[in-house]
């Protein structure tokens, strides 16, 4: 289990970015895996209130937000069509639909992703 000393829920991406620049601050993107760890966190920065969920197609590729679920990635037709089903294949066998609906890209992989075509 994680021990959190201070909790923060920023309301803007800019505020979250500023908080996460500090070494003792840890972003929380989903928290599905939190109970599996054993760690002390100075300040937890909860990203759940931010507009970070979604898959956006751009002129050069795709942007996947940190709060986008694995299920969102699995079912996104444009993303999977552009990459020949790679994302679908990568996540379809991860435990079950319930877990894929809860696990986020930021929580599972620790990043927001940008893919160029």
pLDDT band of residue 18 (cuts 50, 70, 90) is: very high
- Supply the pLDDT for residue 109: 63
Q: 106 and 64, same structural domain?
A: yes
Q: 70 and 112, same structural domain?
A: yes
Q: 66 and 23, same structural domain?
A: no
Q: Which domain holds residue 24?
A: 2-46
Q: 42 and 61, same structural domain?
A: no
- Supply the pLDDT for residue 77: 97
pLDDT at 9 over 90: yes
For the chain, what is the domain count?
Answer: 2
pLDDT band of residue 57 (cuts 50, 70, 90) is: very high
CB-based contact 17:84 (threshold 8 Å):
no
> What's the mean pLDDT in 61-68?
89
Look at the chain and count its residues. Answer: 117
């Amino acid at each position: 289990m994680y021990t959190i000393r201070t909790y923060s829920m920023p309301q803007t991406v800019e505020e979250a970015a500023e908080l996460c620049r500090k070494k003792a601050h840890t972003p929380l993107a989903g928290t599905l895996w939190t109970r599996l760890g054993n760690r002390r966190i100075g300040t937890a920065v909860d990203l759940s209130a931010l507009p970070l969920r979604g898959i956006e197609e751009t002129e050069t590729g795709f942007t996947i937000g940190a709060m986008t679920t694995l299920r969102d990635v699995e079912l996104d037709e444009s993303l999977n069509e552009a990459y020949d089903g790679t994302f679908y294949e990568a996540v379809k066998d991860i435990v079950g639909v319930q877990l894929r609906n809860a696990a986020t890209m930021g929580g599972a992989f620790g990043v927001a992703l940008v893919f160029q075509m």
